[in-house]
Structures are given as structure tokens and as C-alpha cells.
A and B are shown apart, each in its own frame.
Chain A
Amino acid sequence: MSNVVSTATRPATSEMMRRLPEYLMIWVPLLLSAAHLISFSIWTIWISFTPSTLVPVSGWVGLRNYNSVLASRNWQIAFDNLLLFGIAFVLLSLITGLLLAILLDQRIRGENVLRTIFLYPLAVSFVVTGTVWSWLLNPGIGIEKLAHDLGWSTFHFDWLVNRDMAIWTIVIAAIWQSSGFAMALFLAGLRSVDADIIRAAQIDGAGPIRTYLRVILPTLWPITITVVVVQLQFAISAFDLVRALTNGGPGIATQLPALVVYDLMFQRSQLGRGAAAAVLMLLILLAVLLPYAAWRYVQRRQATHA
């Protein structure tokens, strides 16, 4: 194509040979990536319908694995926890992120330093975050112990070992780790508001606070949806953080779907059920992502038609 004369005189096969390295460099990685995504998904879905336990076997058991996972206490607790954790974490990190973004947007001094501080937890692994918070929240050595040592003997903060409250420790650590992400996106959104819109509002006689509430903040809602979806995606597949912070405990009080999958696959050797739990995780994720994809599609069509 690039050189019409030479391609016409040379046989097609040698042209192919000449371009082989580029075909390989393009296609091998892309095909490997695409093939692994498709085949791995199909394979895991297939295993979820087989009686596999220690090793993958063929056979068909219908929805038996799904029924047994859905009926297990482990999964039910994990699912309830996911609902609570997902909603609480996403809402609170949205609020924290938005508040921080609005504050940083007030032309304050030291903005760069503050932004660096609010975002650094994102550079740290969930294992590190979970480990550190497991120390801070441990009543025997953490904040509660410090309060006692300082003489406040009635201070009580034992969520980490309290069955009813332990899930909130994961909410706390997750917010600490990733509310900076919401802040970064909101701040970028606040900074990209059209100056003309703000001027128009001021000409209409709106004060600074009113302009902010009525004109600037409403432009953030597409960013809000993106933040919600990304954070929910993290919440649904959360594993490392829980593993390091509570390891699902006390008992199974902080169990989450990703831990159930790992437990079934690698600790109980229930491959079929583990695969079924993984597919259930995927379905939960799709319940979030498909509406988001549809919304994005509509938005894009409106943008091209406008």
C-alpha cells in the first residue's frame, strides 16, 4: 500500500513476509488479550454449571452450584455486607471528595501540598492500607489504647472486633484510601466550568454562594456518575483491603463476595461453586455497568447530534 510500484512487481507472499513483524507486533498481543478475556469468561461460566470440586470436570448440574452458593450463609452475609459497604463507602467518599474539591477550589494557599496529601493513599497498596488501619483500629494497641493511656478510660472504639460494626472499619479505610480520587475528578470538573456561564450568573445578580450552588455544582453530575461507577466497581471486587484489615472476621462478619470466591476455589476446593460465585460477582457488576454504558451511549449520541 505504501509503495504501489514495489507491491505490484513483487509477489503478494513476499509482501506478507516483509510485513510479518508488524502483523505479529500488532496482532499477537491484541489477540492474546482478547482471546484470554473471552475464553476465560466462557470457561469460568461453563465450570459454574459443572460438578467440579477439586479439579475441573465436565458434566452438567444446571443451577445447583448457584443455588448452593445463594443458600449459603457465607454468601448471604457477603452480599448484605456488599450492599452496606458499597452504599456507605460510595456516598461518604463522594461527600468527602466533593467537600475537599470545593474547599481546594477556593483559591487557597498550599493547594498543591494539600492535593498531594489527599491523593497519596492512592499510591499505596490496599494491603498496606489494610495492615496499617488494622493496627490503628485494634482496641488493644490503637486509638482506644491511646485514649486509655491518656486517661480517658471510658473511651470505647472496638469496631474492628465487634461483629456488628466491623464492616464500618472497612468503610473507613476505603474512604481514607480513595476519596482523593473523587476529589481529583471533582476538582478537575470545577476547574473546567465555562467562565461565561459564571459571568452570566453574576450579571443576573447571583451572589458567589448562589452561583456556586445553582450554576457550578449542577455541572458536576456527569462526573458524579463516573465516580460512583468506578467506586462501586472497586467495592464489588474488594479483596486485598478486607484480607489485610479483618480477613473477613470477626468470624465471617466482614465477608465480601471476592473473599467467598477465593475461599470456595482455593480453600474448600469447590471449583464449581467458586466459579458460580465469581459469575454472580460479574452479574452484580453488570447491574452497575450496563446502565452506565447505556447512559454513556445516550450522552454521546446527544453530543454528536447537538
Chain B
Amino acid sequence: MRDRSFAPSRILIYLVVTLFAAAYLAPLVVVVLNSLRTNEEIAQGSMIGWPQHMAWSNYLTAWSGFCIAETCAGIRPYMLNSALVTIPATIFSTLLGAVAGYAVSLWRFRGDNWIYGIVTLGLFLPQQMRLLPWTIVLRDIGLINTLSGLVLIHTIQGLSFTVLFCRNYYIAIPHELIRAARIDGAGFFRIFWRIILPLSAPILIVTVIWQFTHIWNEFLYGVTFTTGQQQPVTAALIALSAAVADIPQHGVQSAAVIIAALPTLLIYLFGGRYFVRGLTAGAVK
């Protein structure tokens, strides 16, 4: 086996994967390097280059300095908006999805297959079919242009995923376990709390990572239902690009892009295994 690793075909394999890895990493490297270059430096050359003086101040400007539409507070308020939408919506949709997934998989009740089938259609229905109705619903309940409105949308729409994930996980739990607990007099919530929840750590981690990544990265609802200071960070990045279109500030913009992408990148780096599991679970449906 040892000499095989030096065979020409092995070298070719390593060469090809290294080239691909470089191509995948290149955009990240370029943005990281740019985030440390001054705007003048980039303007003189190109986006691709080595920083000359390590302009750490780009991060400070990106975080709390630059202006979008006459508000000069940097990306910080929009990061906060994204967090205030993503964290509650992730928690709500995961908890409600876990309870509902437990109910349709282990408790069974009349109409459970029907309602489960309809809810999972939400995986496929394009957002464009829901834009106008959400506009009207949000306006009628007074949540247009609020973070609560986005939390509501992402909670309800996220259920399609969370119910699916949890149901497919719980369906493998032996029914005898539940039956025995019910004979002992345990009710719906007691069984959930005492038996199901302690078994749920893997699927809850997958679900939380999936929901967090999706909601943090979401753009269409953010840009449609919020304006100005209420926008999530994805919408703010687009607004920033538009705001500086005449005099680009690529160094600061690069720093802003890094900051905006950091939460989901960190989650991916630390929870990669669960992230991939969510991807495949979401795909197989």
C-alpha cells in the first residue's frame, strides 16, 4: 500500500483536489485580505492583493461607522436585528416543531397524516406565492416593518422543516417505550419531557443549526417587509453596496461582508457534522 501513495495517479488526485480547494477558498481569502487593505490601496490596484499596512480600522468602520441612507451606525444595528429575528425564530420553530413532530410520529391522532403532508408541502412552495399574503397579514396585525413580523414568518414557515426533521427522527423510536409510559399514567408532556427530549439532542442540534443558518441568511422577506433601521444584515449589505456605488469602499465593505458571514461560518466550523446531516435530511425529504 505504501508505494501506491507515490504512484502518478495518486499525485494527480492530490493535484486536482488541491486546485479545487484553492478555487473554493479563493473568494474567502480575497475578502479577508481586502478587509485589511485601505480603500485607496484597493482603488490603485485590484481587489486581489496583499495588504500593505493591515488596516484594522476597516473593521471598526464596518462595525459602527459607515453610513447607509444618512444613518451612520455601521453594520452593528443590522447584525442586532438579524440576531433578534434569528434567535427567537430558531427557538420557537424548533420547539414547536419538536412537539408537533413527536405528536405526529409517536402519539398519532385523527388526521395526523393529512396535516403532516400539508405542512411538508411548505418545503416546496415558492416564497413568491406567499409574499403578497404575508404583506397583508403583517399589515393587518400591525407587524409590518417590525422584527416581530419576521420572527412570525420564519417561525411558521420554519415549521415545515422542523416538523419534518423531528418526525423522521422520532419515528424510529420504539412505540413500546411510549406505550409502557402511558400505561404507567404518563401524559403527553411528561413523556415528551422525560423520554423523548433526552433522546433528542442530535436532531435538535441539526434542526437548530439548519434553522439558524437559513434564517440568518434569508434575504427576500427581510428586504420586502422591513425598511431602513429595521432591516436584517443581508438586506443591509445590499443597501450598503448601493449607498457606496459612486465611491466604493471595498476595504470597509469586505470587512462588513466578513462580519455578516461570521455567525453562520462559525456555526458551520464547529457543528459541521450536524450541518451536513441537516443538508442531506433536507434533501431526501
- Chain B, interface size category, equals 35 or more
Q: Which of B13, B14, B49, B124 counts the most A-chain CB atoms under 10 A from its CB? A: B124
In terms of DSSP, what is the predominant structure of the interface of chain A? helix
Whether B283 sits at the interface, judged by CB under 8 Å, is yes
Considering the chains assembled together, what is the distance between the CA atoms of A96 and B27 in angstroms? 18
A contact residues around B96 at 8 Å (CB)? 25, 29
Scan B87-100; emit 1 where CB is below 8 A from any A CB, else 0: 00000000011011
CB distance from A298 to the nearest CB of B (A): 16
Q: Is the beta-carbon distance between B160 and A33 smaller than 8 angstroms?
A: yes
Scan B69-95; emit 1 where CB is below 8 A from any A CB, else 0: 000000000000000000000000000
Q: Can you pick out 28 interface pairs between chain A and chain B where the beta carbons lie within 8 Å of each other?
A: A1-B182, A3-B185, A22-B103, A26-B107, A26-B109, A36-B156, A40-B133, A40-B134, A44-B133, A99-B16, A106-B13, A114-B21, A117-B24, A119-B276, A123-B268, A125-B216, A126-B217, A126-B219, A129-B27, A136-B27, A145-B46, A149-B46, A237-B127, A239-B127, A243-B219, A261-B128, A278-B128, A279-B129
| Residue in B25, B118, B132, B283 whose CB lies within 8 Å of A34 | B118
Q: Within residues 12 to 67 of chain B, which ones have a CB less than 8 A from any CB in chain A? A: 13-14, 16-17, 20-21, 23-25, 27-28, 30-31, 34, 42, 45-49
B contact residues around A142 at 8 Å (CB)? 46-48
In terms of DSSP, what is the predominant structure of the interface of chain B? helix
Q: Is the beta-carbon distance between B128 and A122 smaller than 8 angstroms?
A: no
Q: Is the beta-carbon distance between A2 and B187 smaller than 8 angstroms?
A: yes
Q: Is the beta-carbon distance between A282 and B237 smaller than 8 angstroms?
A: no
CB distance from A245 to the nearest CB of B (A): 11
Question: Which stretch from A81-89, A180-188, A198-206, A213-221 is at the chain B interface?
Answer: A180-188
Considering the chains assembled together, what is the distance between the CA atoms of A186 and B21 in angstroms? 18
Q: Is the beta-carbon distance between A122 and B132 smaller than 8 angstroms?
A: no
B contact residues around A184 at 8 Å (CB)? 276, 279-280
Using a CB–CB cutoff of 8 Å, the interface residues on chain A facing chain B are: 1-3, 19, 21-22, 25-26, 29-34, 36-41, 43-44, 47, 56, 96, 99-100, 103-104, 106, 108, 114, 116-129, 131-136, 138, 141-143, 145-146, 149, 176, 180-181, 184-185, 188, 226-227, 230, 233, 236-237, 239-240, 243-244, 258, 261-262, 265-266, 271, 274-275, 277-279, 281-282, 285, 289
